[in-house]
Structure 1
Amino acid sequence: MSPVSTCPKEASGSRKAQARRQLRAGIYVPTVCFFEKETENLDVQTIGKHAIRLAQAGVTGLAVHGSNGEAVHLSNEERLSAIEATRKALDSCGFPNMPLIVGCSAQSTRETVKLCNQAYAAGADYALVLAASYYKALLQSDSILQFYRDVADASPLPIIIYNYPAAVSGLDLDSDTLITLSRHPNIVGCKFTCGNTGKINRVAAAQEEPAQFLCFGGSGDFTLQTLVGGGSGIIGGIGNVAPKTCVRVMDLYSQGKLKEASRVQDILARGDWAAIQGGVVGIKSAMETHLGYGGFARKPLPRPTGVMTETYAKGFKELVDFERTL
């Protein structure tokens, strides 16, 4: 079963016709990537329908090729197809102004810039970039600063720093480094998957014009904490399962309803713990059980056993049940 979506007639949304869409505070969902169950071929149709479902749920924007998007499992051609399918779906279904962030991470400055250029041509508005870390032991004290500056200088897309220590050999950018990088005119934000809300607070507070550099929590389980600390929202994978709940937390906070926001945050955090434990395997399994589509991750990631499927279904149930009330 695929996500249900209805759209008006397809509209034109070429790169030439559309200026860069604004990056603003809100809820961004790093989408999972879909494959045909038997062949593991890219399922472009479901990629598009899922993007429309999330947009219709009220999220601010989407991110393609984040950690949940299995970019490391895709060929270059498949990466471009996923970007194009997502942008086309948004444009054709009444969301031409929704910003699209694309993961453009590689182990050399040259390849990272190349990915940024390709993403730009395919319809991306912003590039999400991990620190190059394969040769971590050989990097000098200013190597990462120079990496981001070089990429930002050459990229046609504004850069969002992706601070995810677990994915980059434990390399964790501190607040001083991020504040320094935030001064670059083509570096516009950071996704804090490090989970350090104190760091978010320091970086956000250091901005003379907050709208020019946005601080996003990297997980739904600290959405409210991010906002209280001066952050601009989240880029969180749990939005694939419960986009309306993520939006609800931010809306309640914006309305000054902290007690209600905290109650919804509790539900979101419990559901996101299941996502954190199961990763993309667990998220896809829960989507398959509760939403009727999701499929499996590409090998060598495992296909869940019956016991695993039941565990994932139970872990996400409270959150899914709440999502259905919105």
Structure 2
Amino acid sequence: MQALTGTGVALVTPFKKDFSVDTEALKKIVNYQIDGGIEYLVVLGTTAESATLTKEEKELVITTVIEANNGRLPLVLGVGGNNTAGVVAELKSRDLSKFTAVLSVSPYYNKPTQEGIYQHFKMVAEASPVPVILYNVPGRTASNMLPATVTRLANDFKNIIGIKEAAGDIVQAMKLIQHKPEGFLVISGDDMITLPMVLAGGAGVISVIGEGFPRQFSDMVRLGLERKVDEAYRLHYLLADAIDMIFEQGNPAGIKCVFAALGLSEETVRLPLVNVNEDLAARIKAFVNKIRNL
């Protein structure tokens, strides 16, 4: 899956001030990613506030991104949940012909055992007409998909082609890289440790900060993949403070503040999320202006 090596971004869903989906802003954001050198786009992930979108709004987002992208970059669609039967039904009924893969989160809230996680993804793999990227994010799911479970799934199902690993644990990531089957993609889901993961043998990232600063972050990942360590770390440290800031008061409130500073969309998020406070907004906007002037 060479198409999914490098930098993917988890697209936001921009909202107008009345909280409706802003399709024109979404088109601008898609073009901004493509112009910035991003390798692929992830639609309806956590960063898209997909938990607060209606079925009709999700279809609107998908249609808008497909039209704006116009076949230029590979697309990955978020299809996951904690109701296995529901995920399977969606995979069987949805037209995935425009998507290179699906990104499927480990079941949240239910707190399944490792065997439960395995059986869930067994059903997902058997139902999906396109390759599957697993998504491990214990901070949101309340359970950690262990490397042994990931390796078992990767060996048993050839259409499980990678994992977005967002446990924030570089040792766990290295164990995944050490024991993965050949060709299996270990993709960072944590912007701050993306470069160390890439240098350890990871395939790249599905990023949030990369959405705000696509040129710098995708260049960093490419330099890392090329083993140009010093040049890559210069870009890492250039963006490190911004990574902290965009997650300081929650995602995607921080990255939406970046987009507002860039003039691409409003800062609006839907409850239970709220906009970043004035202090953080001022710091984010100052950082955006600094990067613009470099």
TM-score, normalising length: structure 2:
0.91
Cα RMSD for the two superposed structures: 2.1
2:256 and 2:215 mapped to 1: Cα distance? 18
Q: Distance in 2 between matches of 1:166 and 1:313?
A: 27
- Given the alignment, which residue of 218, 224, 238 partners 1:253? 224
The structure 1 residue matched to 2:281, chosen from 297, 312, 325, is 312
Kept after mapping to 2: 8 A contact 1:245/1:323 = no
- Is 1:301 the equivalent of 2:273? yes
The answer to whether the 8 Å contact 2:43/2:75 transfers is: yes
Q: Which of 202, 211, 214 in structure 1 is aligned with 2:175? A: 202
Shift of 1:300: 3.1
**What fraction of aligned residue pairs are identical, expressed as a percent?**
25
Cα-to-partner distance string for 1:75-120 (whole Å, 9 max, x where unaligned) = 11211211121111111xxxx2511111112221121123334554
- 2: CA distance, partners of 1:267 / 1:214: 26
SS of the counterpart of 1:142? helix
8 Å contact kept, 1:52–1:90: yes
> What CA deviation, in whole Å up to 9, does each residue of 1:197-254 have, x standing for no partner?
22222222323422xx211111221121111111001101112211111112123224
Helix, strand or coil for the counterpart of 1:27?
A: strand
Match of residue 160 from structure 1: 133
Question: For residues 156 and 98 of structure 1, do their structure 2 counterparts lie closer, same or farther at Cα, with a shift above 3 Å needed?
Answer: same
SS of equivalent to 1:194: coil
Take 2:23 and 2:104, find their aligned partners in 1: how far apart are those partners?
24
Partner of 2:152: 180
State how far apart, in whole Å, the 2-side matches of 1:104 and 1:320 are.
36
Is contact 1:221–1:270 with CA below 8 Å preserved after alignment?
A: no
Q: How far, CA to CA, are the matches of 1:290 and 1:207 in structure 2?
A: 39
Amino acid at match of 1:32: V
- Spell out, residue by residue over 1:104-154, the C-alpha distance to the aligned partner (whole angstroms, 9 max, x if none): 122211211233345544733211111223332xx4551110100111101
Question: Equivalents in 1 of 2:273, 2:124: separation in Å?
Answer: 31
Shift in alpha-carbon separation, 1:81–1:318, aligned structure 2, 3 A: same
Equivalent residue for 2:215? 244
Q: Distance in 2 between matches of 1:127 and 1:66?
A: 10
Instruction: Report the Cα distance in structure 1 between the residues aligned to 2:134 and 2:84, rounded to whole angstroms.
Output: 14
Secondary structure of the corresponding residue to residue 265 of structure 2: coil
2:69 alignment partner, one of 66, 90, 103: 90
Q: Structure 2 regions of 5+ residues with no counterpart?
A: none
2:76 — aligned with what? 101
Structure 1 CA distance, aligned partners of 2:279 and 2:259? 12
Distance 2:285 2:205 in 1: 19
Name the residue aligned to 1:57: 36
SS of the equivalent of 1:293 reads coil
Q: Tell me, what secondary structure is at the counterpart of 1:294?
A: coil
Which residue of the partner structure matches residue 321 of structure 1?
290
Which one-letter code corresponds to 1:197 in the other structure?
I
Instruction: Select 1:277's aligned residue among 229, 244, 248.
Output: 248
Aligned to 1:8: none
- Is 1:148–2:121 an aligned residue pair? yes
Q: Is the 8 A contact 1:200 1:230 kept in 2?
A: no
Please tell me the residue identity of whatever aligns with 1:198. Answer: V
- Give the Cα separation in 2 of the matches to 1:320 and 1:224: 24
Distance 1:263 1:244, change over 3 A: same
2:131–2:161 Cα contact (<8 Å) kept: yes
Kindly tell me the number of residue pairs found equivalent between the two proteins. 292
Cα distance in 2, alignment partners of residues 65 and 241 from structure 1: 17
Change in Cα spacing, 1:118 to 1:239, as seen in structure 2 (3 Å) is farther
Do the aligned partners of 2:151 and 2:176 also contact (CA within 8 Å) in 1? Answer: yes
